[in-house]
Structure 1
Amino acid sequence: MEIHWSHIGLSVTDLERSRLFYEEVFGFSLDTTIDVEGEDTATLMRLPLPCRVRVMMLVKSGFTLELMQNLDPGMKPFRERALNEPGLTHLNMRVEDVAEVRRRVVQYGGEVLEETILPELSGARAAFSHATYVRDPDGQLIEVITDHRSEGGWIPSHLR
């Protein structure tokens, strides 16, 4: 049986704002926008009727990010989760310039978690040279790193 990775889905409160954030900060491109609604959608998403959801599929480097805005029923408020709670903890983006990404995060409505900015790291045991956490406009936690490709740091085997 062949299995393929498909996408990661994020619920957002403002689809256009989130699209712009992921395009301008991380270089994603819009692939498609669709509206889904009705009983099947409510059943799959475990939401009450009426159920209407607008979806944007963004792509970058073979990765698909699904942004979903629930129009009916509306969105619940963001709830921060600790990294030691079960479930998806964060997204990770490898970038060339962490400082530039931090600037863009703020420019496009996100937040830089200043207390997580690490000083430059080096050596064979360091997995990255610069790292920090940021939040998108809806609070999604994103780890931003610059890796040590040329210095022997940890890199997933499929990226070596």
Structure 2
Amino acid sequence: MSLRWSHVGLNCRDLGATEAFYERWFGFSRARTVELDDDRIVFLRQGDVYLELFHSDTEPLVKPAGDGPAQPGVARHLAFQTDDLDAFLTKVGDEVPVTLGPLHFDDFIPGWQSVWLTDPDGVIVEVSEGYRDASID
């Protein structure tokens, strides 16, 4: 038996706005839509990574801040890698709220830096440049 990563499910107030956010800034595209009686589920794909979007009218449990919520049972943030964080930040400009950073972690890994942003529903999204596993150093 083998297991592999499948997807992250996100609750969204506006499926279209959340889909557009991940398409525009992170290169996702629609892989499938599952129509339900009075709703739908949207699957987005970028390479081997999937996001599953569910509509929700519920208010967020936590206010987005820093690098994400610290409550157990709540995902802290989603994370993406880039080879040019400055170019990414120039691209998003003031269109995506920054909750933290950019921060530099050169004391741990030379060249490692990250910034944390929010998606339309307040999910914290980290974008990093320069992280490497210990075995690569």
> Which of 121, 132, 138 in structure 1 is aligned with 2:121?
138
How many residue pairs get aligned? The number is 131
Partners of 1:12 and 1:138 within 8 A in 2: yes
Question: Following the alignment from structure 1 to structure 2, what is the Cα–Cα distance between the partners of residues 143 and 6?
Answer: 20
Change (3 A) 1:105 1:63: farther
Match of 1:118, SS state, is strand
Distance 1:130 1:27 in 2: 21
- Indicate the structure (1 or 2) with the bigger Cα radius of gyration: 1
SS in 1 for 2:83: coil
1:31 maps to what in 2?
Answer: 31
Query: Amino acid of the residue matched to residue 140 of structure 1?
Result: V
**1:101 maps to amino acid:** F
Where structure 1 has 5 or more consecutive residues not aligned to the other structure, the ranges are 38-51
Q: Which residue of the partner structure matches residue 50 of structure 2?
A: 64
Once superposed, which parts of structure 1, at least 4 consecutive aligned residues long, lie more than 4 Å away?
none
Question: CA 1:15–1:61 in 2, change beyond 3 Å: closer, same or farther?
Answer: same
Alignment partners' CA distance in 1, 2:45 and 2:31: 6
Displacement of 1:13 in angstroms is: 1.0
User: What's the CA shift string for 1:19-55, capped at 9, x where partnerless?
Assistant: 1110110111111112224xxxxxxxxxxxxxx4321
What RMSD, in angstroms, separates the aligned Cα atoms of the two structures?
Answer: 2.7
CA distance in 1, matches of 2:60, 2:25: 21
Matched, 1:53 2:34: no
Q: Which residue of 2 aligns with 1:90?
A: 77
Distance 1:61 1:105 in 2: 25
Instruction: Give the CA deviation at 1:17.
Output: 1.0
* 1:77-97 Cα distance to aligned partner (Å, 9 max, x none): 123266432122111000123
| Contact residue 105 and residue 111 of structure 1 kept, 8 A | no
> Please, what TM-score do these two structures have when normalized by structure 2?
0.78
Q: Is the 8 A contact 1:56 1:67 kept in 2?
A: yes
What are structure 2's unaligned runs of at least 5 residues?
none
Task: Name the residue aligned to 2:59.
Answer: 77
AA of the residue aligned to 1:76: T
Number of the residue aligned with 2:102: 117
Alignment TM-score, normalising by the size of structure 1: 0.68
In structure 2, distance between residues paired with 1:18 and 1:126: 32
| Structure 1 Cα separation of the partners of residues 111 and 43 of structure 2 | 29
* 3-state DSSP of counterpart to 2:6: coil
Task: Determine what percentage of the aligned residue pairs are the same residue.
Answer: 27
